[in-house]
Chain A
Amino acid sequence: MSSLEIEIPTEAIGMLPIDHEQERIRDFSHALKRLQVIRPAEIDTDFTDERPVPFAIKRFLAFEHEDTLTFYTNPDVLGAPVDRVRFSPRISRVGKQSRHGVFFGDLQLGPGLQVPVAVKPHLDEERDSCLDEYFNTLAITQLGMSTLVELGFIYGDREEDPAYSITVLQEGLSTLDSVDWSSFYPDIEEHPGMLALWKGAAYQAAKLHAPGNRSHGDLAGRNVGEKGGALSDQTRVILLDWESATIGGQPPRDAEVRYSHSHSDITTIVESMCRSTDVDFRAGIGVFAGKSGDWWQGFRAVFLDSYLERRRQILDQTAADAATVRDVNEELAELEKSLQQDVAMYQDLALVS
């Protein structure tokens, strides 16, 4: 043993911290060895259904689902048949705030075909969320939102079967939780690149909420990414992780329904910006945490003004009827009032703590 190596006493081994990440990767490799079927998932989402994605999942479970552990591939991405799958992990800094424990690596899908992937485990009672993730992501892509590309998902019939959703890794993509925001606020005008990223996020959220019957469901900073990253001359923001999304098949009944979708998402952004990165429970990305000043005005300048401006632009461009215009204006007025209260609450909480 060299002088730099440390000998660990046998009795101390039980006290070593468990490497959950290594466990997750080991479990995934075991799951790949247990795969009995690899086949394309053929069910399409029908947007004339009242609840398009839950209905698509029902049809999948009724007509396509295998009894054994199966890798269902996205036929739009993997055209050729696949007969075996192997995984080799990669080391990264991004994606570490994912509450699911996303990890990255390469999937070897037979001779000569290797795809870099991000793997998201859906464990125990959350197994079925991998179906939500896959079908929501496909649906939101069909509706014109840009996001990650689904490669497929692993799912089995038995309760002990693991479940994973697998997306194509975009090496140039990084999420807002991988940015150090500590120097951004209050001197936001001195950081035009960072401001442009938030403007892109606001525009994406506005595009999602404009029809009034859609929400992301978990719009924290870790689920907002810069697509293309390096390989773009402009800031191109996308939203990620659609497993909690709601996608309605019918127009919203009234302003209240519209508000329920937009407020749930934007208040999550607010919380993410206001909370510190240093806490274990519901860590934020630390835009406002630890800073003095009027956080509400800061939030308006960084995100909300761009969001509201874009929502009104879309309303103008879509030649909406008078009732829709009234509903959207009512929704946005109520949204602004609620968010002001939300930001004030987080600033008060920060002062107390």
Chain B
Amino acid sequence: MARVVVDVMLKPEILDPQGQAVQRALPRLGFEGIADVRQGKRFELDLEGPADEAALARIREIAGTFLANTVIEDFVVRVEEPAEAASADNNAEEGAVR
């Protein structure tokens, strides 16, 4: 099963108060040296078929019309590497056994 990941981030010019709050909390927790934090969303889409160009075009349409609001957000669509996906599947199975 192919997995496609859609990352959605606020556009750079849009204020991200949540990211700012996280960034401001870091020194208090003892983590220095982080200049900026932006918070976004990650969607994992497991396809029934292969992640071919037709499937990716469809997912770009889903991302542009629904997962992201392109007035304020940008999105990136990428196919997750099979090795990574396989290990993710194994983890899921382990989780199920427990």
Q: Do A and B come from one complex?
A: no
